[in-house]
Amino acid sequence: MHLTDEEFRKYSGEWILLYNDTIVDHSVNLEDVLKIAEEKAIGLPQDSLKITKVLAGQPENSQRWLTENHD
């Protein structure tokens, strides 16, 4: 998954919760995101939720890759 420039600016420095590579919540506080993940995880496949941090700053590459699947 990668972020658009707009998403990168919006979530810069924050933790984001992804469900099937879609942003479902975000916070600067990891504990908040973990709590929300626990609530949303009920009944979902274990690998469908991911938590990642959007680094603050402006990387040189215009594509903001968050996760890569290595099948």
The model's confidence at residue 70, banded by pLDDT at 50, 70 and 90, is: very low
- Tell me which of 48 and 68 has the higher pLDDT: 48
Strand ordering across the sheet containing 49-53: 22-27, 15-19, 49-53
Query: Which one is predicted more confidently, 32 or 56?
Result: 32
Dihedral pair phi/psi, residue 70, rounded to 5°: -115, 90
Output the pTM of the full model. Answer: 0.73
Residue 25's φ and ψ, nearest 5 degrees, are -165, 165
User: pLDDT-based confidence at 59, cuts 50/70/90?
Assistant: low
CA distances from 65 to 3, 34, 68 (A): 7, 21, 8
- Residue 28, pLDDT > 70, answer yes
Mean pLDDT of the chain: 80
Residue ranges covered by each domain of the chain = 2-56
Give the tokens for residue 67.
Answer: 């996760």
User: What pLDDT score does 43 carry?
Assistant: 81
